[in-house]
Structure 1
Amino acid sequence: MSWLPAWEGFIRVVEGGSMAAAARTLGCTRAQISKQMAELERRLGARLFERSTRRLALTPAGEVFHQHALRALEAVDGTEIAMRNLGDRPCGTLRVSATVSFGRHCVAPLLPGVAAAHPDLEIELILTDHVVDLVGDSIDLALRMTRLPPDDAVARRIVSLRRVVCAAPAYLERHGTPHLPLDLLQHQCLSYLLGDNKSWVLVDGNGVEAVVPVRSRIHFNNIDCMLDAVLAGHGIAILPTYLCHRELAGGILHTVLDGYEPDVVFGRDLYACYTPSRVRVPKVRVFLDALLQRFQPVPPWEGN
C-alpha cells in the first residue's frame, strides 16, 4: 500500500503540529515528511495545510481528509490484529484498562490465573479513572462504569455494582444516625470529586428521588481514600460494596438510609468495551470469559 506511509505521516503532522515533530515520531527526516505531504496534496488535488512561519493548520479539505484517514488507519490496524490472531491460541500482549479502585481490588487478582492458563500471553493492566481511547492508547479491553456504553465499541455488561450509604459506628455514636435523606444536611458527608458534584441523589423503593446538597469539607478523587476516611470516623460516604463488603460484614462500618439507593453519575453497570476488530481475538476472548466467570451470576462480594 504505497499510500499508507503518507497517510500515517499526515496524521502525525496533525498530532504533532509540525513536520519536524512528525519526523521525530516516525524516525525519519523532515524532508521525507515534506515530500510525502506534497505528493499527498498532488494526488488528492487539494491543499491540506495552511502554512505559516509559526505553525501548520488544517484547511477545510484537510479536516475532512483527517477524519477519513483516521478511520482508514484504524481499519488497517484492526485487520493486522485480526490476521495475527487467526489461531485459537491466546498470545501476545493483552492491554486491559480499569478504574483505579475496581482494577486494584477486583481485576488485578484475576491476572495470575489467566496468565498461568495461557503461557504465551502477557497482560498489562492500566489503572486510571479517566476514559481511555481504545485505539489511541492501544487498549484491547476497557472496563468502564457508565450509564451509556460508547457507540463506537462493542460493550458487554459484566456486573452491576451496588452502592450503600455508610459510616463508622464511632461517627454515628457522636453525631446520630440519619433516617431521611434531608437528615444528611446535618452531617459531614465525604464528597467524591469525580462523581457527586457535592450533591447526592437517593432513590426510595417507589422510585422517588431525593436530591441532597450535602455538606462536604473533605473531598477525594480516589474511592480508596474515601473508605479510609470513613473508617477513621470522619463522616458518611457513598461506597461500592465491592470495596467495603468486608467492613460491613464485620460491623466495622454500618449502612444508613437502607430504604434508599444511591444513584451516581456512573450508573450501576460495569461494561467490558473493545473495538469490533477485537471481537474474535483469542486473548480478548479468554479474558472476557474470566471476567464473566468471576462476576456472574453473582459477584463474590455479594455472595453472602
Structure 2
Amino acid sequence: MDLLNLLDSFVRVVDSGSLSGGARLRKISQPAMSQQLTMLEAHFEQELVFRTNKGTQPTPAGKLIYEHARLLLLQTTKMYSEIEELSGAEHGALVLSVSQPLGAEVVTPLMFELRKTYPDLAISLRMEDGLVDVIRDGVDLAIRTGDIGFTSGISRRIATIDTCLVASPEYLAKVQIPEDPFDLTPLNYIQYQDGNRVDSLELRRDGKVHSVPVQVGFIAGHPQVMVQALLNGVGYTRMPVFMAQKFLDTGEFVQLLTDCLCEEKPAYLVYPSRDTLSRRTEVFIEALIERMRAVKGIRLAGQRTLAAAQQA
C-alpha cells in the first residue's frame, strides 16, 4: 500500500469538499478515489469523512490526519526539491501566480532577467487576478495586491503600491479639468475588472479624507484594455503609479489632482509553508524585492508612507 499516495488523495478530497472534486484534482475516476479512501480508513481503522448537504467533511480523526498529511506532503515535496538542488540550487520548475498589472510590468521582465543568470530555472507564470489557494492550486509562490482573501499557506506583506489618477490630454480637452476632488464626479470613470462596481474614490487632501462619488463609464477586463481606453479618451481612472509612469513620462497621460493622495494597495507574497521554501523560490523572492526597490510607486515594507514623507 502506497500510504503517501492515499494521504495525497485524502487531502485533495478535504480541500475540494467532495470525492468527485478530489478525483478531478488527482486525475483519477471517482470510483478509484472512493476505493483509495476506503483503503485509508481501513489502514487507520477510523472513519475519516462523512457526507453532508454541504459536501464531504472530515471527522475528528479525519481532521487530525488531514493536518499531519498536509505537512507531510509539503515536507516530501521539499525533500525532492532539495535532492534536485544538489545538482544546481536554481535548477527546476517554479510555478508563479501574479496579478495581471504587476505581472506585466514587474514580474515578466524580472523573469527574463533571471533566465539569463539561471538558464536551468523553468518558470510557469500564471497572470490571474482571482484569489489563489497556493496549496490546492499547486502554486509555489503567489504575488497579490489588495485583498488576498482566505488562503491556505503563509502570507507576507512585502510592499505598498501607490496609485494615482490619470487621463489623456484628449479627454481633458473635452471636459472641465478637475481642480477639486468632487470635480471628478461628473466625469467618466474607467473601472478595472467587472467585480463590485466602484461607486466612490477615497482621496486625501490636506490631511482630510474625501469620499468622492464616481460614475463608471467603461469597464476594462484587462490592464491593456484599460490603457487603450485611456489613450482613446474614454475617461479617467485610478491605477498603480508603476503602470502609469511611462505614459506620464511621454505625456500620453496627465496626472489629475496631484495634491491629493489616492488609496494605497498592499502587496503580499503567499506560499505554502515557511518550512518548504525551495532555493529557487528564495532566489526569485530576493530578485523580486530588489526589482521592486527600484520601481517608482512601490515602497518596500518598512519604508515610510507617501503621506508621512510629505509631512516630514
TM-score range, shorter chain: 0.7 to 0.9
Distance 2:119 2:42 in 1: 50
Residue 18 of structure 1, CA deviation: 3.6
2: CA distance between counterparts of 1:19 and 1:185?
49
User: What CA distance in whole angstroms lies between the structure 2 residues aligned with 1:115 and 1:55?
Assistant: 45
1:109-124 correspondence runs (5 A): 109-124=109-124
Aligned counterpart in structure 1 of residue 295 of structure 2, from 270, 279, 299: 299
AA at the equivalent of 1:199: S
| 1:112 CA drift (Å) | 2.3
Give deviations 1:71-105, integer Å, cap 9, x for gaps.
44334334443454357621011122211122122
Larger C-alpha radius of gyration, 1 or 2?
1
Q: Distance in 2 between matches of 1:143 and 1:86?
A: 27
Instruction: Please give the alpha-carbon distance, in whole angstroms, between the structure 1 residues aligned to 2:171 and 2:27.
Output: 58
Q: How many residues are aligned here?
A: 293
**Does the 8 A contact of 1:142 with 1:272 survive in 2?**
yes
Matched, 1:106 2:106: yes
1:273 aligns with 2:274: no
1:169-208 residue pairs with structure 2 within 5 A?
Answer: 169-192=169-192, 193-194=194-195, 197-206=198-207, 208=208
Contact 1:161 1:268 in 2 (8 A): yes
Give the aligned CA root-mean-square deviation in angstroms. 3.5
Q: Structure 1 stretch 182-191 or stretch 139-148: which is displaced more? A: 139-148
2:274 alignment partner AA: P
1:235 aligns to what?
A: 235
How many angstroms apart in 2 are the aligned matches of 1:45 and 1:119? 49
The Cα shift of 1:129 comes to: 0.7
Aligned to 1:287: 284
Query: Is the 8 Å Cα contact of residues 162 and 297 (structure 2) preserved in structure 1?
Result: no
Quote how far apart the aligned CAs of 1:109 are: 1.5
Scaled by the length of structure 1, the TM-score of the pair is 0.80
Aligned twin of 1:144: 144
Q: Could you list the per-position Cα deviations for residues 19-45 of structure 1 after superposition, in whole angstroms to 9, with x for gaps in the alignment?
A: 7973993658946852x4334334444
Asked if the contact 1:146/1:269 (under 8 Å) is kept, the reply is yes
1:190 aligns to what SS in structure 2? strand
Gap change, CA 1:187 and 1:63, over 3 Å in 2: farther
What is aligned with 1:130?
130
Superposition pairs of residues 203-218 of structure 1, within 5 angstroms? 203-206=204-207, 208-218=208-218
- String of CA shifts for 1:117-167, please: whole Å, max 9, x gaps: 11322112111111222222222222211367978415261x432211111
1:122 match: secondary structure = strand
User: In structure 1, how many angstroms separate the alpha carbons of the residues matched to 2:32 and 2:291?
Assistant: 54
Q: Secondary structure at the match of 2:125?
A: strand
Residues 222 and 50 (structure 1), Cα distance of their counterparts in 2 relative to 1, 3 Å cut: same
Give the secondary-structure state (helix, strand or coil) at the position aligned to 2:101.
helix
- Aligned partners of 1:50, 1:277: CA distance in 2, in Å? 31
Contact conserved, 1:134 with 1:142, CA < 8 A, in 2? yes
Runs of at least 5 residues in structure 1 that lack an aligned partner in the other structure:
none
1:64 aligned to 2:63?
Answer: yes
Equivalent-residue separation in structure 2 for 1:195 and 1:24 (angstroms): 30
How far apart are 1:301 and its partner, in Å?
7.5
Q: 2:100, 2:20 → 1: CA distance?
A: 37
Percent of paired sites with the same residue: 23
What one-letter code is carried by the residue in structure 2 that aligns with 1:115? R
Distance 1:75 1:224, change over 3 A: same
Normalising by structure 2, report the TM-score.
0.78
Maintained 8 Å contact 2:23/2:33: no
What whole-Å deviation, never above 9, does each CA across 1:215-255 have from its counterpart, x for those lacking one? 11312232322221111111111122222212211222111
Task: Report if the CA contact (8 A) 1:165-1:256 is conserved.
Answer: yes
Give the direction of change, closer, same or farther, for the CA distance of 1:125–1:23 in structure 2 (3 Å limit).
closer
Secondary structure at the counterpart of residue 234 of structure 1? coil
Corresponding position of 1:48: 48
Specify every segment of 5 or more residues in structure 2 that has no aligned partner in the other structure, as ranges: 299-312
